[in-house]
């Protein structure tokens, strides 16, 4: 079954809605330049009362930027590869075939690789899709390391993404928003339902 991470959570209402509809993980942005940035204090407030077995992921430029955040995993782009407590999800921003070189040359073993769309200014959350054939190739390179697919996913295209890539998980932020930092709960529901339906179809 494809896991589902709803990223860019900024408030308790959206967090509870995502979990209610069936999300497996929630992402909290620790990058100050992002319109979805939240402080450690806000994250703790949002997480109060969440049910068990929902993974909490802090998204940071470097692992050290995750200090102080309440989370189970850290999703990061560069910097130190060690964290004494959190599982590590290493992000690779995909632009073209040459983008896979960094993945091939990577010598660490994180809990997962996350593939997102390359953008010159923003680290993520820009709503743009990259060539999914590159994600299929990245799965071969990664071997046993799970692949999380991000980048421009929406309720309208996620079924095709699941069918073509067969990722361990999908990650969505802007694709289920009403505006930056606020989720559209109907889009949340449709996105999660579509992933589950795609899983069932692939099992036939």
Kindly tell me the burial class for residue 121, based on how many C-beta atoms sit within 10 Å of its own C-beta (0-12, 13-18, 19 or more): exposed
- State which residues form the domain around 144: 3-203
Told to judge if 73 belongs to the known catalytic residues of this protein, a careful annotator would answer: no
Q: In the prediction, which pLDDT does 84 show? A: 75
Annotated catalytic, 7?
yes
Count of domains forming the chain: 1
Single out the catalytic residue among 7, 14, 24, 65. 7
Q: What are phi and psi of 16, to 5 degrees?
A: -65, -40
Query: pTM for this structure?
Result: 0.94
Predicted confidence (pLDDT) per residue in 177-203, tens digit? 999 999 999 999 999 999 999 999 987
CATH of the domain at 17: 3.20.20.70
Rg (CA), the chain: 16
The residue annotated as part of the active site, out of 14, 24, 116, 171, is 116
């Amino acid at each position: 079954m494809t896991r589902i991470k709803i990223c860019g959570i900024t408030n308790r209402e959206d967090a509870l809605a995502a979990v209610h509809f069936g999300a497996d993980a929630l992402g909290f942005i620790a990058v100050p330049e992002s319109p979805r940035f939240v402080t450690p204090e806000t994250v703790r407030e949002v997480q109060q009362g969440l049910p068990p077995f929902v993974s909490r992921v802090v998204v940071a430029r470097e692992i050290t930027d995750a200090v102080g955040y309440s989370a189970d995993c850290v999703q990061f782009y560069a910097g130190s590869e060690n964290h004494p407590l959190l599982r590590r999800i290493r992000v690779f921003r995909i632009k073209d075939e040459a983008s896979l070189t960094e993945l091939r040359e990577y010598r660490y073993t994180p809990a997962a690789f996350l593939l997102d769309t390359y953008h010159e200014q923003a680290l993520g959350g820009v709503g743009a899709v990259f060539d999914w054939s590159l994600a299929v190739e990245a799965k071969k390179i990664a071997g046993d390391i799970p692949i999380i697919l991000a980048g421009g996913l929406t309720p309208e295209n996620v079924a095709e993404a699941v069918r073509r890539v067969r990722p361990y998980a999908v990650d969505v932020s802007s694709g289920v928003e009403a505006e930056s930092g606020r989720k559209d709960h109907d889009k949340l529901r449709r996105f999660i339902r579509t992933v589950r339906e795609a899983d069932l179809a692939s099992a036939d």
